[in-house]
Amino acid sequence: MKNKVLIVEDEKDIADLMSLHLRRDGIEVEVAENGEQAFALLGQQNFSFLILDWMLPGISGLDICKKIRSENGPLQAIPILLVTARAQTADIVLGLEMGADDYITKPFDISVFLARVRALLRRATSSAETQSNAIIQIGKLTVNTERHEVKCNNQVVELTPSEFKLLLAMMKNRGRVLTRERLIELVQGEGVTVIDRAIDTHIFGLRKKIGDCANLVETIRGVGYRVADTLD
């Protein structure tokens, strides 16, 4: 099935530029100029991806993102690329915490934009294919959720409950930058208590234990962490 993307962008030149290159990449495109049009299209058609400008007339792109993520339904898991001229670390962190999967700042290089789109679409496809599978593998790192087992280079790695849930959360969101606050939300639960900067300590311990696979866990300075999106 062909991928279909909804671009929510009120600057026509930017919307036209993105549409042109996405169509050349074999992706179907619809464009909305504001939140009202976006929600109307989202209710009428199925989209595999959402490209969302932050600064929009009326409801902001950030509020659109927050609304989509807070409501149960098929849209809740749609990949969202946030496009913004707001490049401060605090703004980027806020966008990710509101539910964006990735972001790109204006002005952007079109090749970087397309690479971000392809990566998110690839991860969305991979996530859908492995969601019901007990085994998640990225590179030489494997997590078996049924057996609660982690392997690097086919060698079993012993992790604490916190480290296991932290690694599993990042692998399920492969390539997606997760803030410390988001990681705390994802890993808190029975037998696991994580607070504030303790995430950094858990990441340090996790990297040390997974040895040769430690390079898969990346630090995004000032934002958070992610497991690298690799097909190796």
What pLDDT, in 10s, does the model give residues 49-60? 899 999 999 999
How many helices (DSSP H) and strands (DSSP E) are in the chain? 8, 12
Q: Which domain holds residue 123?
A: 4-130
Q: Is residue 100 part of a domain?
A: yes
161 or 20: which carries more pLDDT confidence? Answer: 20
List, in sequence order, every beta strand (DSSP E) within the chain.
4-8, 28-32, 49-53, 80-84, 102-105, 135-138, 141-144, 149-152, 155-157, 178-179, 217-220, 224-227
Q: Is residue 159 part of a domain?
A: yes
Q: Which residue has the tokens 């530029």?
A: 17
d(CA 173, CA 227): 8
In this predicted model, what pLDDT tens digit does every residue of 128-165 receive, in sequence order?
554 445 788 888 999 988 788 899 998 999 998 888 98
Do both 119 and 20 map to the same domain? yes
pLDDT at 231: 46
Q: 102-137: buried (b, 16+ CB within 10 Å) or exposed (e) per residue? A: bbbbeeeeeeebbebbebbbebbebbeeeeeeeebe
Cis-peptide, bond into residue 57, ω within 30° of zero: no
User: Does residue 213 share a domain with residue 184?
Assistant: yes
CATH of the domain at 57: 3.40.50.2300
Cα distance between residue 101 and residue 175, in whole Å: 9
Same domain, 96 and 145: no
- Asked whether the predicted pLDDT for residue 216 surpasses 70, the reply is yes
In whole angstroms, what separates CA 81 from the centre of its chain? Answer: 8
Within this chain, do residues 120 and 151 fall inside the same structural domain, yes or no? no
| pLDDT above 90: residue 172 | no
- Per the domain annotation, does 232 fall within a domain? no
Determine the Cα–Cα distance for residues 115 and 158; give it in Å rounded to an integer: 35
Three-class SS state of 114: helix
**Number of domain units in the chain:** 2
Q: Is 69 exposed, middle or buried (0-12, 13-18, 19+ CB in 10 A)?
A: middle
Q: Give the residue-averaged pLDDT of 24-34.
A: 94
Structure tokens at 160: 């604490």
If asked whether residues 36 and 118 sit together in one domain, one would say yes
Burial class (CB in 10 A: 0-12, 13-18, 19+), 141: buried
Residue 61 belongs to some domain of the structure: yes
On whether both 179 and 109 belong to a single domain, the answer is: no
85 belongs to a structural domain: yes
Same domain membership, residue 191 and residue 143? yes
Domain shared by 79 and 31, yes or no: yes
Q: Are residues 111 and 151 in the same domain?
A: no
pLDDT one-digit tens code per residue, 70-105:
876 678 788 899 998 888 888 888 988 888 988 899
Residues 166 and 215 grouped into a single domain: yes
Question: Assign residue 196 a region: left if phi > 0, alpha if psi is -120 to 50, beta otherwise?
Answer: left
